[in-house]
C-alpha cells in the first residue's frame, strides 16, 4: 500500500524555522499586529521573508543531499576510507 502523503502542517513540524517564517508571513497578511498601513510596506516585508525562506530551504536541501550521498557512498563501498586534508606543511628545505 502506498504511503499516505503528509499534510503541510505535518511536514513543517520537521522544519521549524521554515514554519516560523510562514506563520510570521500569515500574521502580516492577516494584519494581526497592525504593523502595516501601506501596501508597499507589507510587500517589502513579504519579499524579504520569501528571500529568507529560499535561503533556508536551499541550505536544508543541500545538507540533506550531502548526508544522503555520504550514506550512499559509505554503504556501497565497504573498503572506502574517509580522507581529509593533510596537516603537513611539506618538507623543509635544508639550510645552507
- Quote the cell numbers at residue 29: 497578511
User: Does the global pTM surpass 0.85?
Assistant: no
71, 52, 22, 41: CA torsion to nearest 10? -170
* pLDDT digit string, tens, across residues 51-86: 999 998 899 899 999 999 988 888 776 665 666 776
Q: How far apart are the first and last CA of the chain?
A: 78
Domain spans in the chain, listed from the N-terminal domain onward = 8-75
Please, what is the average pLDDT of the chain? 85
Which pLDDT does position 71 carry in this prediction? 86
Please, what is the angle between helix 16-29 and helix 39-76, to 10°? 160
| For the chain, percent of residues with pLDDT exceeding 90 | 47
Cα distance between residue 53 and residue 34, in whole Å: 23
Amino acid at each position: 500500500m502506498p504511503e499516505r502523503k503528509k499534510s503541510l502542517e505535518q511536514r513543517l513540524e520537521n522544519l521549524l524555522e521554515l514554519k516560523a517564517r510562514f506563520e510570521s508571513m500569515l500574521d502580516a497578511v492577516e494584519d494581526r499586529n497592525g504593523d502595516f498601513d501601506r501596501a508597499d510596506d507589507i510587500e517589502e516585508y513579504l519579499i524579504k521573508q520569501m528571500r529568507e525562506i529560499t535561503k533556508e530551504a536551499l541550505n536544508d536541501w543541500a545538507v540533506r543531499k550531502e548526508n544522503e550521498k555520504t550514506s550512499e557512498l559509505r554503504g556501497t563501498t565497504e573498503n572506502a576510507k574517509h580522507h581529509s586534508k593533510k596537516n603537513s606543511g611539506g618538507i623543509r628545505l635544508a639550510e645552507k
